């Protein structure tokens, strides 16, 4: 019997089913910020893909943004066709992703979530994103992230 956290196991299964090729790493401590993740992985903060779930008027909107950026919610709301993007509550995040804030992955959600990808991440040959738990991450590329998630590339700033 595996002692792996159930959300990491769900991510691992989804990642494999979708053909993900990157490495899944479980760090010794949670990395709730892009800066902490970059430090733990030895990479630039800009190569961390933060998975930010917003409430677009009861509709979830997932924005995968470079750890070096802040999302201009007014701009992105207009791009994705909602009136406004609000910070999602922990309950909203868990309902729509099955994961907790700080560990939201781009994959393995109970139902598909409209996803948008920060074009800036394309500058990095390797991108790291959460793997369903605050201490788990996975490596990928920009192109693979688009393929795995079906994300629409956008400029978030």
CATH 3.40.50.720 describes domain 6-154: no
- Domains of the chain: which residue ranges? 6-154
**Per-residue pLDDT for 21 more than 90?**
yes
The whole-number pLDDT of residue 80 equals 92
DSSP-derived secondary structure for 67-124:
TT----HHHHHHHHT-S--EEPPHHHHHHHHSS-TT---SS--SS---EEEEGGGGG-
The mean predicted confidence, pLDDT, of the chain is 93
Tell me the whole-structure pTM to 2 decimals.
Answer: 0.93
How far, in Å, CA of 102 to CA of 108, rounded? 15
List, for residues 105-151, the tens digit of each pLDDT value. 999 999 999 999 999 999 999 999 999 999 999 999 999 999 999 99
List, for residues 64-100, the tens digit of each pLDDT value. 999 999 999 999 999 999 999 999 999 999 999 999 9
**Per-residue pLDDT for 1 more than 50?**
no
* Whole-number CA gyration radius for the chain: 14
How far, in Å, CA of 11 to CA of 94, rounded? 14
């Amino acid at each position: 019997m595996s002692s792996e956290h159930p959300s990491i196991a769900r991510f691992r299964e989804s990642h494999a089913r979708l053909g993900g090729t990157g490495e899944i790493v479980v760090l010794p401590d949670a990395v709730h910020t892009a800066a902490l993740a970059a430090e733990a992985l030895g990479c630039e903060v800009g190569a961390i893909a933060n998975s930010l779930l917003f409430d677009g008027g009861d509709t979830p909107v997932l924005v995968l943004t470079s750890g070096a950026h802040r999302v201009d919610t007014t701009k992105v709301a207009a791009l994705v066709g909602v009136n406004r993007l609000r910070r999602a509550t922990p309950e909203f995040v868990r309902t729509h992703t099955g994961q907790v804030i700080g560990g939201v992955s781009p994959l393995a959600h109970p139902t598909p979530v409209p996803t948008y990808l920060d074009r800036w991440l394309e500058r990095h040959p390797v991108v790291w994103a959460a793997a369903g738990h605050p201490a788990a991450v996975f490596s990928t590329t920009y192109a693979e992230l688009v393929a795995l998630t079906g994300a629409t590339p956008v400029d978030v700033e």
